[in-house]
Chains A and B, each alone.
Chain A
Amino acid sequence: MQLTAKQRTRVDWFLTILRVAALVLIGAGLVAFVAQVVDSNNPFARWANPDAINLTGRQFRDLVVAGLAQGAMYGLIALGYSMVYGVLGFINFAHGEVFMIGAVTGAITSSKLAEAGAWEDNFVLCLLLVVVLSMVVCTITAVIMERVAYRPLRGKPRLIPLITSIGVSFFLQNFILVLLGPGTKTYPRMPEWLTEKRTFLEIQGTRLLVLAAAAVAMVGLWYLVERTKTGKAMRAVAEDAEIASLMGIDVNRVIVKTFAVGGAMAGVAGILWGLLFNSVLHTAGFLPGIKAFSAAVVGGIGNLGGSMAGGLTIGVAESLGPLVILEPLGVSGPSQLRDAVAFSVLIIVLLVRPSGIFGERLPSEERT
């Protein structure tokens, strides 16, 4: 008898069926897509969806780049989830709202700058200023949040801070709503040279800028975590908080720094949102927040490189998925299902590989 052969219950069978069904669906969609690209009149393609729109190579590339740009933003947000989960072991639901506050800060400051006429004249400097301001505001928000809502709950079962963070999330959303009103906050127009498509490989400049900014932020974070004393302390606390404190590390300070760094990354992501979408609402943080959490899980929670990779995966999946998998199968209005696709990615990953694609790094589990 084989050791791993576990008695299969009905639930196991059901799960296996679900897994297979999900993979078959994805596979069928992909095959249909390829069939339609090769020849939209071949019988299989016609059977799957007789009036599929055919993506041109250029549209496909645009979708990928758009997905990557959004994914980079998700990746930056995901870092905050991942780091907090790594150190404290709970999902900080309100992190998406920190990101939203960053985007709102950006909208307010940039439109003030535009009013003063500086935005047009000195775009790069203004953008830098806006990014720094947003990072500062987000850092402060994240730190206050930790101090007020999470620190008193240290050591409680992980569902308790999770529920608290849901409360914080809705509080922050409506905090912005009542202070700033329900209207959309818009960013001023970007300069032409950025929005025009004539840049590298005819990719829109803003997307390149977003990818570059994410890369810079990522390198900075990598340096902080891997090369500095603070980073070492963070990793030690993530490994085992108790032992770290015995080694003379001030755990509280490390946790505050973790929130601060996560907040700063969310601040950068907030501005990227502004660059990509030009306007922001008080509810803008919720969905990206959950998608970013999905990204953190997909990349293996606690694993920083994985978070970024997971973000890119989710971004590309939700940008391509509707048109490459759903549309070829004859689903009408597939782009309305973007968010559903993002959630499905999370569910499928957790069904097929719960520890994420790149493996999680979690504090050692308590033992019996």
Chain B
Amino acid sequence: MTAVADPMAASTGDTVPETVRRRRVLDQNWRELLKVGAILMVGQVFIALSGMPVSFDRRLIIDPILSLGYLSLLWLPLVVGYAVGREQALEGMMAYTKGGREVLAGAITGVLGNLGLTLLVVGITHFDIRDPLVNWSPQLLELLEFEQSVWFGALIWLGIGAATGAAGGGLHWVGARNRRTVITVIAAVSSAAVLESVITDLAQGFHIEAVANWLYAPKRGLTSPAAAVVAGATILAVNAISALRARAAHRLVSAAEASPTESGSTRGGRLSPRRLAGFALTVAAVIVLPLFLGRLTNELLANVGLFILLALGLNIIVGLAGILDLGYVAFFAVGGYSVAVLTSPGSPRFSPEMPWIGALFIAMLLAGLVGLFIGAPVIRMRGDYLAVVTLGFGEIIRILLLSDWLSGTFNGAQGIINIPGVEIFGLTTVRGFEPRSVLYLVLFFCAIAIYVSWRLENSRIGRAWMAIREDESVAEAMGVDTVSAKLMAFVTGAVLGSFSGAILSAKVGSIFPHSFAIIVSIVILVVVIFGGMGNIAGVIAGAAVLIGVLGGPNQPGLLQEFAEFKILIYGALLVWMMLQRSEGLIPSVRRARELHTDELNQDAWLRAQADEADDASNPGVLDGQGPRP
């Protein structure tokens, strides 16, 4: 390799610098291990006492072997075991290869952490403090003892801790590629198990029940052979995909080399043919699939769709314009209640019994007005005050809906019932007991919301929103009328939110104030942040994963066992997201894409330089170069 090409090799991180050494197994940072072990101990004891293991125990992942209950006690030592072996490798500093030392570190922390469970086993047998701690129970003891003796339970957890911790540490040893494979396999097997009801449903739709019957023990997760097959298939798929990706990357680089300064101007709202094809395929699948799905899955997807709608609306306010609105649920409520009052014969005071579509237009109008009304007073406030005040507005609306004062119109806590379905031009009626038709209705409005978000993002107002998000006072100095742009964000978000409320009304057939608590706003916010603010596809994916698996505040997800732990998990997830990548506020996918373009261009430029300096070309240089970590 020539001297000129050297910096590239260093920058890829693939070649091993000379300073890399292996450390001796016992060369540990003992204090650190002790500290991490203690934290893990607290975490394990908390999980055990939270009741997760007991309530998840009936949910199996792999039929006789592993239940979700035990999984809830296994994952943390694994993760911590991995994390404890991770070291910040500063650029230019000494780097170490990973090996037995990391495995030992993982094992030690695992044992320390599970010492908590051992103590718990002993503690539960000898003391009864079930009074404050509701899960300090015989059931937990039984589970922790594996229905054997106290001593068996006490000791086996230490062993399990050592094993899982060591496995976590061992992930360093196997190298980045194998690590990815292992993680993907774990993810694939658990997803397959979690998706049991959906896949069974699909199989029934396509009349291939046999597959589902073979995959799953009825209501008990994957069968062991099926798990093995899923794992095997995943490994094959991972390898195939990474080979494909490598080839695609190579092609991209050659293209960049051919025309290094050509702008990849696919932006401005137009799609490249390849993305267009992918998009068309997705659309077709989304339209066709519901036909083959059963009631439960369609119902689930309809719920997911409602949250996609809400999240897209909030994404305009929070993700694009950078306004932290914690009272977004207000618009959901306005949509829902307007439709309920206008369509239901059971609405107490004012009951025009309009058709749903007419009511929807009025609901949109009202939501827009409420958006203006809430937006105008808060628009000049500091961002954090704005958050609390919008939250206050959201609560005020819920309190008013609930109050005796307005119960003449909204019927207070009894809510409004007998809301008719959606009649579509006399063709069909969409009703809650027909989840498929609801799903199509939701999908239609999701399509509208996606279209609106996409068009606006690449327009004058969308750019103004982004500029305000980046730096409000500079945006104003650059000629953006920030007050009206922010109001427009509120109004647009409000109208999108009202769609969701209107559909909810017709879907459920009744509406109550308690469906519009603060937590709904917060869950939508978590979805938007999880998906990546300002990123339409991300927000959709975020809603699908979170609402689909965990469920919404009042809606069950795939893992119904999680019901009582849902909000706990949402809270923890939000904290974790902010700590991990607080630039989640930044449209991450988009940024990554552009950074990647930069990388390719830089590579092309470097190659040109290398070619110039050294007439012998170096075709192999870029081979096998993975994406940057």
Q: Which of B352-403 contact A (CB under 8 A)?
A: 376-377, 379-381, 383-385, 387-389, 391-393, 395-396, 399-400, 402-403
The answer to whether the Cβ of A152 comes within 8 Å of any Cβ in the partner chain is: yes
Which residues of B lie under 8 Å from residue A199 when comparing CB positions? none
Q: B570 at interface (Cβ–Cβ under 8 A)?
A: yes
**From B377, B388, B585, contact of A15 by CB (8 A):** B377
Residues of A within 8 A of B483 (CB): 9, 11
In the complex, chain B residues whose CB is within 8 Å of the CB of A293:
388
Known interface pairs A163-B578, A297-B385, A343-B395. Does A177 touch B132 (Cβ–Cβ under 8 Å)? no
Residue of A149, A161, A163, A346 most packed against chain B (CB within 10 A)? A163
Q: Of the listed stretches A34-42, A47-55, A166-174, A232-240, name the one at the interface; the rest are far from the partner chain.
A: A166-174
Q: Is there an interface contact between A180 and B134, defined as CB atoms closer than 8 Å?
A: yes
Complex contacts, A181 vs chain B, CB 8 Å: 134
Binds A, one of B81-89, B233-241, B249-257, B560-568: B560-568
Contact, CB under 8 Å: B405 / A334: yes
> Are A179 and B395 touching (Cβ within 8 A)?
no
Whether B403 lies near A171 (C-beta < 8 A) is: no
Contact of A337 with B by CB under 8 A: yes
A172, B326: Cα distance in complex, Å? 19
Query: Nearest chain-B residue to A156 (Cβ)?
Result: B582
Asked if A219 is an interface residue, CB under 8 A from chain B, the answer is no
Within 8 A of B (CB), among A140-187: 149, 152-153, 156, 158-164, 166-175, 177-181, 185
Closest chain-B Cβ to A330's Cβ sits at a distance in Å of 9
Contact-residue bracket for chain A: 35 or more
Known interface pairs A174-B565, A178-B568; A350-B405 also in contact (CB < 8 Å): no
Q: Are A169 and B571 also in contact (CB < 8 A) when A153-B578, A290-B388, A336-B404 are?
A: yes
Select one of A156, A167, A290, A343 contacting B572, CB under 8 A. A167
A133 within 8 A of B: no
- Rounded to whole angstroms, the CA-CA distance of A217 and B135 in the bound complex is 36
Given contacts A178-B568, A179-B49, A179-B133, contact A163 B324 (CB under 8 A): yes
Q: Are B519 and A350 in contact (CB-based, < 8 A)?
A: no
- For the complex, count residues of B whose C-beta is within 8 A of A: 59
Q: Is the CB of A177 within 8 A of B405?
A: no
CB <8 Å contact, B384 and A162? yes
B573 partner residues in chain A, CB cutoff 8 A: 167
**From A172, A180, A290, contact of B133 by CB (8 A):** A180
CB of A340 closer than 8 Å to a CB of B: yes
Instruction: Find out whether the CB atom of B389 lies under 8 angstroms from the CB atom of A347.
Output: yes
Chain B positions within 8 Å of A11 at CB level = 376, 379-380, 483-484, 487
Q: Are A343 and B582 in contact (CB under 8 A)?
A: no
Residue A90 is within 8 A (CB to CB) of chain B in the complex: yes
Which residue of chain A is the closest to B322 with respect to CB atoms? A159
- Of B384, B400, B582, the contact of A340 (CB 8 Å cutoff): B400
Specify which of A153, A159, A181 lies most central, judged by the most chain B CB atoms within 10 Å of its CB: A159
Chain A minimum-CB-distance residue to B374: A347
User: Which of B324, B387, B392, B518 has most chain A Cβ within 10 Å?
Assistant: B392
Q: Of residues 484 to 536 in B, which have CB atoms within 8 Å of A's CB atoms?
A: 484, 487, 518-519, 522, 525-526, 529
Q: Is the CB of A336 within 8 A of B568?
A: no
Asked whether any CB of chain A lies closer than 8 Å to the CB of B50, the reply is yes
In the bound assembly, the distance between CA atoms of A177 and B403 in angstroms comes to 27
Known: A290-B392, A350-B389. Contact between A178 and B564, CB under 8 A? yes
Check A344 against B396 for contact (C-beta < 8 Å): yes
Within 8 Å by CB of A91, from B46, B134, B388, B400, lies B388
Tell me if A339 is interfacial: C-beta within 8 Å of chain B: yes
Residue of A nearest to B483 (CB): A11
A175-B396 contact, Cβ under 8 Å, with A159-B383, A168-B575, A170-B574: no
Q: Do A163 and B388 have beta carbons less than 8 Å apart?
A: no
Min distance, Cβ A352 to any Cβ of chain B, angstroms: 11
Q: Does A108 reach chain B (CB closer than 8 Å)?
A: yes
Also in contact, A166 and B132, with CB within 8 A (given A159-B324, A339-B399, A340-B400): no
A343 touches B579 (CB 8 A): no
A162 partner residues in chain B, CB cutoff 8 A: 324, 384, 387
Interface residues of B in 391-436 (CB under 8 A from A): 391-393, 395-396, 399-400, 402-405
A to B CB contacts below 8 Å, 27 in the list: A11-B379, A11-B483, A14-B376, A18-B376, A91-B384, A91-B388, A149-B579, A152-B579, A158-B384, A159-B387, A161-B578, A162-B324, A164-B575, A166-B522, A167-B578, A170-B568, A171-B568, A174-B567, A177-B564, A178-B564, A178-B565, A180-B134, A290-B388, A294-B392, A336-B402, A340-B395, A347-B392
Q: Given known contacts A336-B404, A337-B405, A347-B392, what 16 new A-B pairs fall within 8 Å (CB)? A: A153-B579, A153-B582, A159-B387, A162-B387, A168-B571, A170-B522, A170-B574, A173-B571, A177-B564, A178-B50, A286-B518, A333-B404, A336-B399, A337-B403, A340-B399, A347-B393
